[in-house]
Chains A and B, each alone.
Chain A
Amino acid sequence: MQGTDSSRTASHDRRTVTSWLLGTGVAASLASFFYPVARFLNPPQVAEAAVNEVDAGKVQDLKPNSGKIVKFGNKPALLVRVNDTEWKAFSAVCTHLNCTVQYQDARREIWCACHNGTYDLNGRVISGPPPKPLEELAVKFRGDEVVISRRA
């Protein structure tokens, strides 16, 4: 009787070991199939063209008390001609939720249409949800060309 018992235990043990080997083997191979898939889903970093300076058009093309959006690398920038001599430029990306802001000539403010945020002409928040001021860019002139650049 004792012999039967021990042989049953031995076969039970063998079965446990075999199942364990099979189970971990399958689990490991499945992990090796899906690891590449998980990595594949992760989009690689695409190098952004590092832009520090862009040509924003001619001085005479922008009337006093008006603004326009210009491409600054792959982000929009807002160029504002406050009056004949004073110019301002900001990153046009609203600090609230990434909408693109616009210049409102009637109120002489920068306004974001998405959630009604307003900034003054120094980029500071006047009202609405934006948490931070707009990033200000530098405006220079090269002949009659307006040039926008990142502030040092």
Chain B
Amino acid sequence: MGNNLSSTEFKAKTLDWLDERTGWRMVRDLMDHKVVPIHAGTKWYYFGGITLFLFGVQIFTGVLLLLYYRPTVAEAFDSVRFLMTRVEFGWLIRSIHSWSANLLILSAFIHMFSVVFTHAYRRPRELTWLSGIVLLGLLLGFGFSGYLLPWNQISYFATKVGTDVAGTMPVAGPTLSRFLRGGEDVGGATLTRFFDFHVIILPLIAFGLVGLHVLLVQKHGMSTPSDIPPEKVAQMKFFPNFFLRELVVWYGVLAVLGTLAAIFPWELGEKADPFASAPAGIRPEWYFLAQFYTLKLIPSHVWILEGELLGLFGFGALAAGWVLLPFWAAGRHKLASGVGVFLICYLAAFTFLGYVK
């Protein structure tokens, strides 16, 4: 039996065979060489990973919710109620999906501002910044479209207001509003569209962009603070050292998520009634509150412009400036930090005011 392969030889041959056909060792080599800089700001690196993890939680729980959800005006509310009251752990899965959506947006905001304050957007990472900003926009789109799906009173009116605001935009406004609503008003056609946006269109775009974003991070490596020369920064291997730490953090996030979802289960409210008056205290999700409150403050007419239009122009200019941050902030990092602080103060203050007023 001299030609019998020993088990080590057999294993090596099998791995060679696989490598020749798949090139998997290239991936292993990349993983071997990936490092994470260690410095005072290392903790901020975790937020990208947390955002990715919560995105995964959304896909997982979203796919589960689709087993019972029915996207029609007649059935949407009842199917969610059925899911929450009759399906075992249905309340928990839905509550996790809702809470995770909120934590996901929060974590994405923290991730974004950490990039601003560590100036990680600088050359050659402009496109990483851009893809991240577009992803944040997609997340807001997920939130806006998903909010309507249970077809309850609050979400119905929030969607009416939200699509109406879109309609006040100059030139493209009415078309955009019609496109979003699938007609003149919020109704069954809107629900069908928002369902399509939420479970097909946005996920497809988001998958591609998340891939690009993560790929760019791999290509450039983690950014190091601008005030330390890169060669002086200590490093840690990504696999397994940083990755295991990240896993521990994910576990902690999951614990927080599970606790919030179980102790404060997400409510369903009342079924939407298009012929009922808007309930008092109607307000959008917290991540739209600052804009919502700003629009409330602007007088209905300023000079020859309509108030909403002025607000939209303001937001548009602000958003454009923010998107282009890596380009105007090159060599002016203090200015970028100042704008970042200003933006955080504005968002915090107006979100708070939106809540209490």
List chain A positions with a Cβ less than 8 A from chain B.
Answer: 29, 33, 36-37, 39-44
Contact = CB atoms under 8 A, between A and B. Distances in A.
Interface string B62-88: 001001100000000000000000111
Contact of A39 (B67, B68, B86, B89): B89
A27 B218 CA distance: 31
Interface of B: 64, 67-68, 86-90, 92-93, 251, 254
Given A40-B93, A43-B68, 11 more contacts: A29-B251, A33-B254, A36-B89, A37-B89, A37-B93, A40-B67, A40-B88, A40-B90, A43-B87, A44-B86, A44-B88
A42 B64 contact: no
21 contacts: A36-B89, A36-B92, A36-B93, A37-B64, A37-B89, A37-B93, A39-B88, A39-B89, A40-B64, A40-B67, A40-B87, A40-B88, A40-B90, A40-B93, A41-B67, A42-B88, A43-B68, A43-B87, A44-B86, A44-B87, A44-B88
A37 B93 CA distance: 8
Q: Chain A binding site: helix, strand, loop or mixed by DSSP?
A: helix
Nearest to A26: B251
Contacts of A33: 254
Contacts of B254: 33
Contact of B89 (A29, A40, A43): A40
Contacts of B251: 29
A29 B88 CA distance: 19
A43 B79 CA distance: 12
A70 B42 CA distance: 70
Nearest to A39: B88
Contacts of B64: 37, 40-41
Contacts of B86: 44
A97 B87 CA distance: 29
Nearest to A45: B86
Contacts of B67: 40-41
A44 B90 CA distance: 11
Contacts of A39: 88-89
